Amino acid sequence: MLTNFIAIPVMLVLTILQITAVSRIVLFNGRADLVLLAVAAWGVRERGKNVFLWAFIGGLLISFTSAMPLLTPIIPYMIVALIARIFQDRLWQAPILSLIIVVFAGTLFQHIFSIALIQLNGVNLGFLQSIQSVTMPSLLLNFFFLFPVYVLISDIGKWVFPEENYE
């Protein structure tokens, strides 16, 4: 039960950090996504079954702060949560490897989803240009922030589940 409640303050803090600080750290035109990283890091944990709630809360908070169509940011985070659970089942002994794969696949899905959504709203982004100038640098930045976020989420996990010490 505590893990469900802990998602709210964690995601709130990460969303505030995302819009105030991390969004200002730009590599070419790419930016890291702390919420995606947190969802992925929680999802690859053995006891991270409630990751879909984390994804929903994170997506909800991001959708309130973003100019993307309302509630649509929830979808890619739910998909990231799903990918994380799938990889957790298959690669449970290698959470870091799972995490890297989840972040890679999740970032790609999230960006393709965003490009498609913006194009549907009548704005021509240019698919290849967006992938080259936004998605690739964003992937690099996500990998850069991956391990600090993983350590943070692991510490929260150990605090919530004190008996869990295999990582």
Cβ atoms < 10 Å from Cβ of 25: 12
Q: What is the smallest separation between the CB atom of 25 and another protein, expressed in angstroms? A: 10
Provide the residue type at 38 as one letter: A
Alpha-carbon span 155 to 149, nearest angstrom:
10
Of the chain, the end-to-end C-alpha distance in Å amounts to 22
Q: What is the smallest separation between the CB atom of 66 and another protein, expressed in angstroms? A: 5
Q: Which of 39, 44, 80, 134 binds another protein (CB under 8 A)?
A: 134
Residues 18-57 that bind another protein (CB under 8 A): 18-20, 23-24, 26, 29-31, 33, 35
Q: What is the smallest separation between the CB atom of 158 and another protein, expressed in angstroms? A: 28
Alpha-carbon span 76 to 94, nearest angstrom:
24
Q: What does residue 35 show for φ and ψ, rounded to 5 degrees? A: -65, -45
Q: Closest by alpha carbon to 69, among 23, 12, 114, 31?
A: 114
- For another protein, the closer of residues 70 and 96 by Cβ is 70
Alpha-carbon span 85 to 9, nearest angstrom:
22
Residues in contact with another protein, counted by CB under 8 A, come to a total of 33
Residues 64-103 vs another protein: string with x where CB under 8 A?
A: -xxxx----x------------------------------
Can you read off the two tokens belonging to residue 21? 């600080």
- For another protein, the closer of residues 36 and 153 by Cβ is 36
Under the rule (CB under 8 A), what is the footprint of another protein? Answer: 15, 18-20, 23-24, 26, 29-31, 33, 35, 62, 65-68, 73, 111, 114-115, 118, 121-126, 129-130, 133-134, 138
